[in-house]
Amino acid sequence: MHVAPRGGYSIKNSKEFIRRYESYLKPTLKIAQLLLSAGNLVIPQLENVPIANNNTVPLETNTPEYRQDMEQRLKFVDILVNQIDGKQASRRGTDLREILTYLELVDNEESLGNLDPITTDDGHVRWICSEHCDGISFNDNMSSNINDFNVMGGKFDRKTKEAVVIGVNVTERNVKMICGALTKGFNIVKLVFQDCSFYEGYLETLLDTIINRSSIRCLNMTAVTVTKFFGGVKYTCKNMVVEFKNQSLKVRFNDNYHNGNIPMLNQLLLRNKIHRTLNISACDFLGHESDLQRCFESNRTVTELIVEYSNNIYILNAIFNSKTNALHQLKLPQSLSIPSILSPFCELLKKNTTFVEVDLMDYTGFKEE
């Protein structure tokens, strides 16, 4: 799996494009059909595809069963891709030389996503990722990224792909370097900032890249100070762990409220463009439920909300009274364990106009009542 920073390309002369590249498109569609069929989505046969179709297909597939099924399908796809790649070797590559002429808004560096064209010894042209394109070149780029990262005061472990930055005042130049490397294939799985400081605008830029256009699966911030443009501390993120997985943002602040919890969560929601599920713990916002409600209202992308330990009426009010049209699904694991809040919860449920699906996960309290 490699980072693909492009969202796609408009195709000129679609009919001729499909006719000319049918032998390449059919295997691609077979793979897409295999993956998307898990979500009960259907991709039409190539000959039935409309020439102009800009509709996007919503992927509301955030169930554990779907994820487990998808993992099995991905393993099978790896096998299928290898088989297809072997068959492609026998085809002539002349047509692929001209693929750019059919695409609008091609990158300045003339790459497709972060794919590069190569010509094999027998004259075939292939578009492949830089890692597979040239092992030496890829290693040089990786070494360059790691060197730049070390120069700014960070450390990168090649084996675990964990990057750590400790005690650094992160500058605009540092942020541009990190974002540029991430969007060009620098594969960081876990990124840690400890005892660092950011100007708020630089942090926003970094979060946008991390959330939407990187391979990072875990972001950890400890004692990170966020400053105003003209100096002065705006807030401090004492301890935050964000996990990015299967279109889900799991955010934890160590079960303790600090003045940086709300602004950091708000920044994550404002920058997020692709993750559909937000998973938080009510313990991180006790005493500040009204601020959390306003944070929910800044959301435009998340459709499913998971809130652990929802055991007081104030957190439930924040959830059900938020004025947002985006949230549709609610899950309350390890919640509603205090009998005194069950009746108020039922009243909120009666007046609910936001959520179309509410999963209590654990309803032992209702049995006692």
pLDDT in tens, 51-65: 444 444 444 455 666
Cβ contact 143:130 at 8 Å: no
Cα dist. 138→2, 98, 143, 179, 366 in Å? Answer: 13, 25, 8, 18, 58
**Domain coverage including residue 27:** 14-133
Residues 120 and 167 in one domain: no
Residue whose tokens read 């509603």: 336
DSSP code, position 263: H
Residues 321 and 259 in one domain: yes
Residues 126 and 175 in one domain: no
The answer as to whether 93 is a domain residue is yes
DSSP code, position 58: P
Confidence of residue 76 (pLDDT cuts 50, 70, 90): low
Distance CA 215, CA 190 (A): 9
Confidence of residue 151 (pLDDT cuts 50, 70, 90): very high
Q: Return the amino acid letter for 202.
A: Y
The answer as to whether 114 is a domain residue is yes
Residues 235 and 262 in one domain: no
Left if phi > 0, otherwise alpha if psi is -120 to 50, otherwise beta: which for 243? beta
Residues 91 and 203 in one domain: no
Q: Any idea which of 111-115, 155-159, 250-254 has the lowest mean pLDDT?
A: 111-115
The answer as to whether 195 is a domain residue is yes
Distance CA 211, CA 272 (A): 6
CA-closest candidate to residue 242, choices 261, 218, 216, 278:
218
The answer as to whether 3 is a domain residue is no
Structurally, how many domains does the chain consist of? 3
Give the percent of the chain with pLDDT over 90: 42
pLDDT at 136: 47
Residues 41 and 77 in one domain: yes
Residues 278 and 318 in one domain: yes
Residues 316 and 366 in one domain: yes
Beta bridge partners of 278: 249, 305
Q: Which of 245, 265, 293 is the C-terminal boundary of a domain?
A: 245
Distance CA 156, CA 176 (A): 17
Residue 99: HSE in the Cβ half-sphere, 13 Å Cα cutoff: 21
pLDDT at 187: 84
Taken in order 25, 30, 31, 36, the sign of the CA dihedral is positive
pTM, entire model: 0.65
Token representation of residue 9: 């390309």
Distance CA 168, CA 191 (A): 14
pLDDT at 256: 85
Alpha helices in the chain (DSSP H): 14-20, 22-36, 64-88, 94-97, 130-133, 135-151, 172-183, 200-212, 261-271, 289-297, 313-320, 342-351, 364-368
Give the pLDDT confidence of 163-173 residue by residue, as tens digits: 999 999 999 99
Residues 280 and 228 in one domain: no
Provide the 10 A C-beta neighbour count for residue 137.
12
The answer as to whether 5 is a domain residue is no
pLDDT at residue 91 is higher than 60: no
- Give the residue with greater pLDDT, 73 vs 327: 327
The answer as to whether 7 is a domain residue is no
Q: What is the mean predicted confidence (pLDDT) over 209-233?
A: 92
Residues 326 and 217 in one domain: no
pLDDT at residue 131 is higher than 90: no
Residues 278 and 231 in one domain: no
Q: Any idea which of 77-91, 134-148, 174-188, 199-213 has the lowest mean pLDDT?
A: 77-91
DSSP secondary structure of 304-330: EEEEET--SHHHHHHHHS---SS--EE
Q: Any idea which of 61-65, 121-125, 200-204 has the lowest mean pLDDT?
A: 121-125
Residues 20 and 96 in one domain: yes
Q: Which of 94, 115, 133 is the C-terminal boundary of a domain?
A: 133
Q: Which of 189, 223, 245 is the C-terminal boundary of a domain?
A: 245
